[in-house]
Each structure stands twice: as C-alpha cells, then as structure tokens.
C-alpha cells in the first residue's frame, strides 16, 4: 500500500485557475439569461470539484487507517521479539544496582541505626528493613518518625500542662473552700460571742428585774402582813383541808394504779408480751384482749 498526498485530483494549481476564472464572472443585467447561465454552470463545476475532493479525501483516509492498523500490528510483533529480553536485562541491571546500593547502605547501617535510636520513640525496625531503604526513603521514614515522636511529645506535654493546671485549679478551689470555711467559723464564733453577750446582758437584766421584783414583793408582803395575819388561821386550815383532800385523791389514784397493775399481771400482761395484747377504754372500764395464736398459710 502506497500513501501519496499528491493523489488528490484536481491539483491545487487546477483549482486555483478555476477560482481565478470564476472571479471574473459578473452579472451586469439580471435579465441576461446567458450571463446567469454562465454563473450556474461555473457554480456546478466548482461544486462537482468540491464533492470529488471530499470523496477522494474519504477514500485516502480509509486507506490511511488500514495502513495505520497494519503498522501498529507490525510494531507490536517486532517489539514482542525483543522486549522480554530487554526487560530481563533491565531487571538484572536493577538487581545489580540494588545489591550495590545495599552494600553501600551496610556502611551506613550503624549511622542510620544510631539516628533512629536517637528518636526515642520505641519503634522496632530490623537491619534488613533499614538496608532496604534508599536515601530518599530513609530520610522520609526518619522524618515521619521524628514528626510522630514530636507530636506524641507535644501531646504528652500538653497533657502534663493540663494536669498541672487542673492541680493548680484544684488547690485554688481547696484554698477558697478553706477560706470560706474559716470565714464561716469566724462568723459563727462572732455570732456565738454576740449571742453569749446578749444572753449575759439579758441574764443580768433578768437578775436585776427579779431583784427589784423580789424587793417589791418583800415590801408588799411586809405591808400585807398585818392584813393577812387575821386570815392566816383560816388560810392554814383551808390549806390543810386541801392538802388532806389532795393526799386522799393521790392515795386513791395510787390504789387504782396498783389495782390496774395487778389486773394486768393477773391477765398475764408484761412489757415483753405487750404486742400480744389489745385494750379498749370506753371511759368507765377497760377491756383487755389477748392474742391466742397465729396460723401461717
């Protein structure tokens, strides 16, 4: 298959001549049929040339696509012959390069190990892992660990600062509480002293009042002595009578109490068994009921 751009027909020169000739066509009279016919024929010639060019271009593009696919297929066929060996040799070169770099890293291993241990983050990494790192990867690895250690240290420091601050705040709160309690004790002491002083003053005033009252009563008593002397015998007699009546009432009450106690005792009532008894008092008599037994279902 041969591709040639010059296969286009008509040529550029021919098309240019057609356009130059066409540009000379003018219509000076719209009623002149010959002039108008020349315009129509020339336009059809140009259209025919344009359609032919488009058709030829499509044919040549199709030929080019077929050629392109054939080239791509041949390219793949030829590459498939040599590429595997190229890849194998490249792998050998990479392996040799890696081994050389690994040998070079052996000399750097103590330095790298020292640098990693100096980070102090407690991360374990084997010698083989370190030897497998190139310079850029090791630098990134070390920087990442340093950054993580710094972040951990920062968080730890912040936590310690928060702890110190919280402790300071706790001590401040405790101090304020102690001061409030001290102030409350002092105020309570002052209030107690004030109340004590008021009580003392009131006691003194009460003693003074009682003294004055006593003196007044003594004076009144002295003034009444003559008047009451006449009533003394009658009063003493009355008091004696009232005392005898009161003693009689108390004696009767005592006897009733003894009788009531005896009645309780005779009924078997004691303090440790009082839960088994029930009493009904209607004002004139008391009835005693005793729990006989309890049946549990």
Residue 106 lies in a domain: yes
The answer to whether 70 and 2 have CB atoms below 8 angstroms apart is no
Domain that holds residue 105: 5-133
Tokens of 169: 């705040």
Question: 62-80 burial, b if ≥16 CB within 10 A, otherwise e?
Answer: eeeeeeeeeeeeeeeeeee
Q: What pLDDT digit, counting tens, does each position of 59-93 carry?
A: 888 888 888 888 888 888 887 887 888 788 788 77
Phi and psi angles of residue 32, each rounded to the nearest 5 degrees, phi first: -85, 105
Residue 24 lies in a domain: yes
The answer to whether 63 and 18 have CB atoms below 8 angstroms apart is no
Residue 23 lies in a domain: yes
The answer to whether 74 and 66 have CB atoms below 8 angstroms apart is no
Residue 254 lies in a domain: no
Residue 81 lies in a domain: yes
Q: What does the pLDDT read at residue 6?
A: 58
Q: Look at strands 286-290 and 277-281 and give their pairing.
A: antiparallel
Among residues 160, 162, 180, 159, the alpha carbon closest in space to that of 170 is found at 162
* Other Cβ atoms closer than 10 A to 82: 9
**Helical spans, DSSP H, in 29-134:** 33-119, 127-131
Residue 147 lies in a domain: no
Low-confidence ranges of the chain (pLDDT < 70): 1-10
Alpha-carbon Rg for the chain, nearest whole angstrom, is 67
Residue 108 lies in a domain: yes
Phi and psi angles of residue 122, each rounded to the nearest 5 degrees, phi first: 80, 10
d(CA 297, CA 294): 10
The answer to whether 261 and 288 have CB atoms below 8 angstroms apart is no
Q: Which DSSP helix (H) or strand (E) runs through 281? A: strand 277-281
The answer to whether 22 and 40 have CB atoms below 8 angstroms apart is no
The model scores a pTM over 0.85: no
Phi and psi angles of residue 287, each rounded to the nearest 5 degrees, phi first: -105, 135
Split into its structural domains, the chain has a count of 1
Q: If you count DSSP H runs as helices and E runs as strands, how many of each does the chain have, helices first?
A: 4, 2
Residue 51 lies in a domain: yes
């Amino acid at each position: 298959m041969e591709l040639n751009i010059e296969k286009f027909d008509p040529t550029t020169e021919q098309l240019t001549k057609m356009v130059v000739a066409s540009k000379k066509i003018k219509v000076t009279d719209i009623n002149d049929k010959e002039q108008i016919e020349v315009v129509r024929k020339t336009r059809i010639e140009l259209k025919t040339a344009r359609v032919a060019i488009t058709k030829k271009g499509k044919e040549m593009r199709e030929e080019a696509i077929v050629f392109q696919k054939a080239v791509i297929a041949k390219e793949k066929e030829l590459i498939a012959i040599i590429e595997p060996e190229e890849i194998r040799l490249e792998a050998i070169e990479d392996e040799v390069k890696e081994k050389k770099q690994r040998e070079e890293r052996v000399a750097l291993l103590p330095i790298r190990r020292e640098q990693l241990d100096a980070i102090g983050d407690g991360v374990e990494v084997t010698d083989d892992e370190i030897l497998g790192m190139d310079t850029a990867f090791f630098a990134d690895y070390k920087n990442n660990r340093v950054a993580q250690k710094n972040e951990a240290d920062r968080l730890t420091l912040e936590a310690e600062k928060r702890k110190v601050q919280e402790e300071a705040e706790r001590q401040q709160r405790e101090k304020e509480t102690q001061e409030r309690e001290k102030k409350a004790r002092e105020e309570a002491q002052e209030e107690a002293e004030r109340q004590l002083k008021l009580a003392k003053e009131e006691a003194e005033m009460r003693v003074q009042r009682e003294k004055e009252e006593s003196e007044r009563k003594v004076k009144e008593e002295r003034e009444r002595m003559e008047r009451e002397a006449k009533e003394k015998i009658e009063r003493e007699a009355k008091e004696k009578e009232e005392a005898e009546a009161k003693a009689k009432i108390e004696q009767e009450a005592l006897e009733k109490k003894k009788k009531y106690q005896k009645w309780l005792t005779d009924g078997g009532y004691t303090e440790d068994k009082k839960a088994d008894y029930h009493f009904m008092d209607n004002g004139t008599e008391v009835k005693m009921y005793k729990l006989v037994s309890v049946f549990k279902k």
